[in-house]
Structure 1
Amino acid sequence: MSRLLRNVIIGLVVAVCIVSVLGWRFLSAAGYFTGIRAEVPADCTEIASVPGPEDIAIDRERGLAYVGALDWRAMMRGDKAVRGGIYVIDLKAPRDEWALAPVTPNEPADFKPHGISLYIGADGKRRLFVVNHAEAGNAIEIFDIAEDGTLAHVKSVADPLLVSPNDVVAVGPDAFYATNDHGSKGVGAQLSDLLLLRNANVVYYDGTAMRKAADMLLFPNGINVSPDGATIYVAESLGAALHVYTRDPATGALTARDYTRLGTGLDNIDVEPDGSLLIAAHPNMLAFIRHASDPKHLSPSQVVRIEPGKQGGGKAGTIYLNLGEQLSGSSVAAGYNDLMLIGNVFEKKILVCKQTKEFKSF
């Protein structure tokens, strides 16, 4: 055997080994090897919805649930004319009368909402912050909320740092944090996923300028803030972990404090009044990807409840888990008293389920 042929063979073997290892790492992170032994049921009813009620924010004082919705499959088909919307559910009405009422203003005309966040100031004034994937570029839209729940557009915040915004959390009348689920677009984003590169980040806007607040994240998705404003939570989808940061309210600076791997593809985070977290999740990200292109392929839905400890740590467990027949592609679980509203990325419904405090292993 010639030296050239031997080197070629060695190179091929090394290449196959590298590809195999990278493939195994990606499949493992995407939940390919995750087995679901049993479902965790909940007592649920359905609310009819427009396609893709992806995120929900609840005004518990007024009893209103804001829903950000977009026909994501139409977006994936390249329909540039598709316009999403914001809807409100009157939770004070009898349960059998709960329905989505549109409150989307005319501005901006190109409106493709993703994550949403409700801000209530000390003076009681309310604003809704919305990630917008407009054709002209990504932006965070800020709306004033009237007494009847309708919205009036205040301004758009655009910045080169908003590379691939996924979710937003408001921390002031003009200030917010937003997750960039990727550090680049197009092929670079796809390679980041396949190679599990930690090149995504969280950005902070103080009302005047935007800057990076946290980085080295792997597909950061949902983001939210603790009731006292001192802690920021960031959920990783491919990283399957929850990051906890201490927040400096004066500067907006974030300091990494804790990290918990939960072993499931985390999506949006809801923070309840007692500080507990409800996180919707995708136990099998590959099934979710298949569901995105074909609704006949079901994607398991999961809701994880976390009760943070006062000195760190805490308790975590699954309170809802379905193989996809009842709901595929859960993206948010927003708590309201002893209920939770579960949204999703593609389907035309929202589940309203009893929220148990009994944890199941996942």
Structure 2
Amino acid sequence: MHELQILLTGLAFGESPRWHEDRLWFSNWGTQEVVAVDLEGKSEVMVRVPTTIPFCIDWLPDGRLLVVSGREGLLLRREPDGELVTHAILSDLAGIWNEIVVDGRDNIYINGGGFDAPGIIALVTPDGSVRQVADNIAFPNGMAVTPDNLTLIVAESHGNLLTAFDIDGDGSLSNRRVWAALEGAAPDGICLDAEGAVWYGDVPNKCCVRVREGSGVLQTIHLDRGCFACMLGGGNKQTLFLMAAEWRGFEHMADGARTGQILTTHASAPGVGWP
């Protein structure tokens, strides 16, 4: 593994990183900004959103940006003229919403719940219908779908594990199982690589970890602050981006501190799947 490099500083909480159109896009929680940064560190605010924490992003197949407006229980869609419109209403299923992934069959998976309630996963189908497809998720965070569109993996931060589901033909989830038990870990944002491993960020343990199915830890990158998420991108998708920030508790997330950074390093295997 190569040395860590600092790509960008001065962020609040960088979250939901996505490699898209040759740049890393991410949500800057607390600032109402979706930002894109290139490999030289030049950043640009791409969208301003009507929410603060949490909000996460992905894209429809036609290139329109989706934004999860977490506390409002809405999935927003950015139209070609820049207007943000409601794509789906989620508030009937849960009070707060977090991560999103759009798979290769145009199914949209979003997770949510509450700080003191079991989390759920909802499916928004290409025809716009919304339904719950999983429950009892212990503080759901990052999600990823395998390249064959057959498996969804979700990080259960308070469950200390990565959980996998089979994706059925209609987008439903079945055959729930432990993909990796992670004793003492709090997995947050995740991404997949071509060797079948998962990278996950861990805030309280201040690290980013590569793990294989069955819980075998392959590599650990230690940081001086919490790692909220990670993503593989770059020209060959072998640049690992780490979203890091100092963590002082939920009550301080909106206090204006700008300790957020994006760090990069070279990964041994390229990114695959979604996001």
Shorter-chain TM-score range: 0.7 to 0.9
Determine helix, strand or coil for the equivalent of 1:104: strand
2:80 maps to 1:138:
no
Identical amino acids, percent of aligned pairs: 18
Following TM superposition, the consecutive aligned residue runs of length 4 or more in structure 1 with deviations greater than 6 angstroms are none
Which residue number in structure 1 is paired with residue 218 of structure 2? Answer: 317
For each residue in 1:4-24, what CA deviation from the matched residue of structure 2 results, as whole angstroms up to 9, or x when unmatched?
xxxxxxxxxxxxxxxxxxxxx
- CA 1:64–1:113 in 2, change beyond 3 Å: closer, same or farther? farther
For each residue in 1:292-342, what CA deviation from the matched residue of structure 2 results, as whole angstroms up to 9, or x when unmatched?
xxxxxxxx421121345xxxx4743333123x2xxx221111112332111
Which residue number in structure 1 is paired with residue 267 of structure 2? Answer: 355
Higher relative contact order (CA 8 A, sep 6+): 2
Q: Partners in 2 of 1:129 and 1:305 — Cα distance? A: 28
Instruction: Report which of the two has the higher share of helix.
Output: 1
Contact 1:44 1:354 in 2 (8 A): no
Give how far 1:181 is off. Answer: 4.3
Which residue number in structure 1 is paired with residue 65 of structure 2? Answer: 128
Q: Partners in 2 of 1:301 and 1:126 — Cα distance? A: 34
2:97 maps to 1:165:
yes
- CA 1:85–1:275 in 2, change beyond 3 Å: closer, same or farther? farther
Which residue number in structure 2 is paired with residue 205 of structure 1? Answer: 124
2:188 maps to 1:270:
no
- Give the structure-1-normalised TM-score: 0.61
What is the correspondence of 1:1-362 to structure 2 with a 5 Å cutoff?
42-59=3-20, 62-71=21-30, 83-91=31-39, 97-105=40-48, 110-112=50-52, 114-119=54-59, 121=61, 125-133=62-70, 137-143=72-78, 153-159=84-90, 160-171=92-103, 175-182=107-114, 189=116, 192=117, 199-206=118-125, 207-248=127-168, 250-259=169-178, 260-263=180-183, 264-272=185-193, 275-282=196-203, 284=204, 300-308=205-213, 313=214, 315-322=216-223, 324=224, 328-336=225-233, 337-344=237-244, 347-356=259-268
Which residue number in structure 2 is paired with residue 18 of structure 1? Answer: none
Contact 1:245 1:257 in 2 (8 A): yes
Q: Partners in 2 of 1:155 and 1:174 — Cα distance? A: 17
- CA 1:127–1:113 in 2, change beyond 3 Å: closer, same or farther? farther
Instruction: Report which of the two has the higher share of strand.
Output: 2
Which residue number in structure 2 is paired with residue 13 of structure 1? Answer: none
* Residue range with higher mean Cα deviation, 158-167 or 336-345: 336-345
Determine helix, strand or coil for the equivalent of 2:163: strand
- CA 1:165–1:120 in 2, change beyond 3 Å: closer, same or farther? closer
Give how far 1:241 is off. Answer: 0.4
Aligned residue pair count: 250
Unmatched runs of 5 consecutive residues or more in structure 1 = 1-39, 72-82, 92-96, 193-198, 285-299, 358-362
Contact 1:302 1:318 in 2 (8 A): no
